[in-house]
Amino acid sequence: MPATLFDPARRADSGHLWHPWSPIRSDSPRLFLTSGEGCRVTDDTGRSYLDLRAGTLNATVGYGEQRVVDAIARQARQLMTWDLAEVATEPAALLAERIAALCPQGLSRTLFCNSGSEGVEAALKIARMFHWITGDKERTVVASWADGYHGATTAGIAATGAAFRRDGAGPLPEGFLHLATPRCAACAAGAPGHECRVPGVGEWEAQLAAVGAHRVAAILVEPVLSVGGVVVPPDGTLAALRALCERHGILLIADEVATGIGRTGHMLGFQHDLGDGTGPDIVVTSKGLAGGYAPLAAVTVREDIYEAFADDPYLGGLRHGHTTGGHATSCAAALAVLDIVEGEDLPARAAAVGRAVREQLSADLAGNPAVREVRGRGLLIGVETSSIGAAQDVAALAQRAGVLVRAFGPVLTIAPPLVITEADALAGARTVVDALHAVGGAR
């Protein structure tokens, strides 16, 4: 590799930085990114790439968006932040009001955190403490889909069934139940000649009964399972879960870390099933909220859940929080991001562009032996390949051709910034198709 101005940083990276979720010993040179504009990023050699992964699903409005940069600069000069346990700040207050306006009526109070993992952890704590405060102290169990992903903190890992994320991290917290994922297991395994069967409310009700539904505090689910393979539950799934929770006095928590803020074609992913008039009891948003420009997560709850904490015997409020939760500069960034998302109707663009990309992928990949299925909602699209190796090979070939996609397990995830044009999205998808044909023909 020729010498560049970034060589000192490369040496620092190889000598001192610990990269998360990444093999320590690898023969592949690490992509070293130095800048970004719109839907493209540039590496230390000056090569440009079309980003079909939005960083990690968080670059909602793309890179170098001046309106967001200006909002950050203004707030940083004025008052970068203050601990919200002690005071109020304008950006945090206005952002909480803005989020309430995006949610169904009644979801009106927001606690801010720094990451999606923290947000999920806070949501689970709120759910359990709510039942404790209101006198239902047996309700401590949290149920979640076995193939869901809810972050890297201990409660998030405990809510996840995958050994890849759990093994070696124990002992993990108790009180977690893994429900059958709403996807046909035989289809997922590529079994030939089977009858497709997707688990649903009947299975979940039986699983709850086995531990005692009266002991379940909350059911935590993603509207689309993102890391779990871009699994789209059948239509009506969340509505059925909503009814199940109401029957048993259980709180429904929507983990919208990956699906929220327009990604699936609605502002919030649960709106595909639940519409605008009803919703979960708690919603967690993060990745797209501040567009990748600053760390931020929001935990939004029903007003009556918030009010119940006035009866907490120790504080009369929530005994939880972080010094930089609701960081004023992060909230200013999020307000600017939401201005763009709403002002340019990016959820509608995600729906239309995503539909066009899925249709092109399905048509161009028909009969490819390396491809099992194309699925997704909005600009959260998964291409399930025949193996983990196939997905990794395709991602590597696409990168060499100047397009970045995410390979996790056997699934390629296509999730570009929501500002991408249809032409760029389709061109990027064609590069992925070419890579899939190259891999499919070689196997």
Backbone angle region of 21, left / alpha / beta, with phi > 0 → left and psi within -120 to 50 → alpha:
left
**371: which residues sit within 8 A by CB, 6+ positions away?**
365, 383, 384, 385, 386, 436, 440
Question: Low-confidence residues of the chain, pLDDT below 70?
Answer: 1-3, 441-443
Of 379, 343, 349, which is closest to residue 264 (Cα–Cα)? 379
* Three-class DSSP category at 220: strand
**85: which residues sit within 8 A by CB, 6+ positions away?**
321
- Other C-beta atoms closer than 10 Å to the C-beta of 216 total 25
Dihedral sign from CA coordinates of 79, 85, 88, 94 = positive
In the prediction, which pLDDT does 44 show?
A: 95
Q: Are 144 and 220 in contact (CB under 8 A)?
A: yes
In the prediction, which pLDDT does 384 show?
A: 96
Of 399, 384, 385, which is closest to residue 431 (Cα–Cα)? 399
Of 338, 290, 330, 282, which is closest to residue 119 (Cα–Cα)? 282
In the prediction, which pLDDT does 2 show?
A: 66
In the prediction, which pLDDT does 184 show?
A: 84
Asked: is 7-64+345-442 a CATH 3.60.15.10 domain? The reply is no
In the prediction, which pLDDT does 197 show?
A: 86
> In angstroms, rounded to a whole number, what is the distance separating the alpha carbons of residues 144 and 148?
7
Task: Report residue 149 as tokens.
Answer: 């992903």
Q: Are 314 and 291 in contact (CB under 8 A)?
A: no
Task: List where CATH 3.90.1150.10 sits in the chain.
Answer: 7-64+345-442
Task: List where CATH 3.40.640.10 sits in the chain.
Answer: 68-343
pLDDT tens per residue across span 62-97: 999 999 999 999 999 999 999 999 899 999 999 999
CATH class of the domain comprising 68-343: alpha beta
Task: Report residue 209 as tokens.
Answer: 């009964």
pTM over 0.85: yes
